[in-house]
Structure 1
Amino acid sequence: MIIYQHFTFDAAHFLPHVPEGHKCRNLHGHTYHLTLYITGDVLEQEGWILDFSDLKAIVAPVIGMLDHTLLNNIEGLENPTAELLATWIWKKVKPLLPGLKKIELKETPSSGVIYEGE
């Protein structure tokens, strides 16, 4: 069984390694949409894999580190592409959620990345 929960956060960034003149080299922001997928067995007594409110509480500190920030200023995110941001999130959340199967991170409604770990 796989459950999922969706989160949003707003953050600014710029991509320092793209060519001069590329629009993403300039400071800009996104409303990011993050979906976490967790796998596990349904607990017999509770009838769920994990309480969604517990999942939200586990992830809240990580979202708090990202929300309304300049991502480039976060250690390990000096070049915050969607791919590198997804990897960074995975590294922060996976130890807290051993059943984490994959994450989907969207920068815009039509573009994003799916990361399934290392």
Structure 2
Amino acid sequence: MIQQMYPAIAHRFVYELNKDMQFAAAHYVPAEQAGKCRQLHGHTYFANITVAGDELDASGFLVNFAILKQLIHDRFDHSLLNDDSDLFDDERPDRFPTTEVVARTICELVQAHLDGTANRPRCLQVYVRETPTSYCLYRPKDGESL
């Protein structure tokens, strides 16, 4: 994994953790304006997930790193993102597997898990690097339900 510094988000939580991971996945963007990206191609995605909260769980974790890996890496690694019809859609632009949508979707998956925990931490941001020169940062709005 490339050692990187990610943009920090200001918050008032006591704890913050960041989980880096990478996954290899293919996709295509089903839009005329996508140019070459309309064709099936792959990337080694680098993702950073920022979770924050005030309380630890019964194991002393804000969230177990292994759970984050299971939620994201195990689902996306060596997949065709477009085939995951629960998350992505070839008809709705807000669900095309672009870098922006992948970042938002990772945040939604993580927050859905966190909402079911007793300590209820928040996924504050997701950083997704698709290529060495292109990345997206997604931050849900304060109070936004995911």
- TM (normalized to structure 1)? 0.80
Aligned to 2:109: 92
Aligned to 1:77: 88
Q: Which AA in structure 2 matches 1:3? A: L
Tell me, yes or no, if the aligned pair for 1:9 and 1:33 is still in contact at 8 Å.
Answer: yes
Tell me, yes or no, if the aligned pair for 1:11 and 1:31 is still in contact at 8 Å.
Answer: yes
Aligned to 1:10: 24
Tell me, yes or no, if the aligned pair for 1:39 and 1:49 is still in contact at 8 Å.
Answer: no
The equivalent position to 2:129 in structure 1, one of 95, 106, 110, is 106
- Stretches of structure 2 that go unaligned for 5 or more consecutive residues are 1-14, 90-95, 115-120
Return the structure number with greater strand share.
Answer: 1
- TM (normalized to structure 2)? 0.66
- Aligned residues with identical type, % of pairs: 33
Tell me, yes or no, if the aligned pair for 2:25 and 2:42 is still in contact at 8 Å.
Answer: yes
**Over residues 1-51 of structure 1, what are the superposed CA-to-partner deviations in whole Å (9 max), with x where a residue is unaligned?**
42211010000011111338x1111111000011011112375xx9x7636
Matched residue count: 112
Secondary structure of 2:113's counterpart equals: coil
Task: Measure, in 1, the Cα distance between the counterparts of 2:126 and 2:53.
Answer: 15
The equivalent position to 1:50 in structure 2, one of 62, 73, 78, is 62
The equivalent position to 1:62 in structure 2, one of 72, 87, 95, is 72
Task: Measure, in 2, the Cα distance between the counterparts of 1:42 and 1:61.
Answer: 21
Q: CA RMSD in A?
A: 2.2
Q: Which AA in structure 1 matches 2:50? A: Y
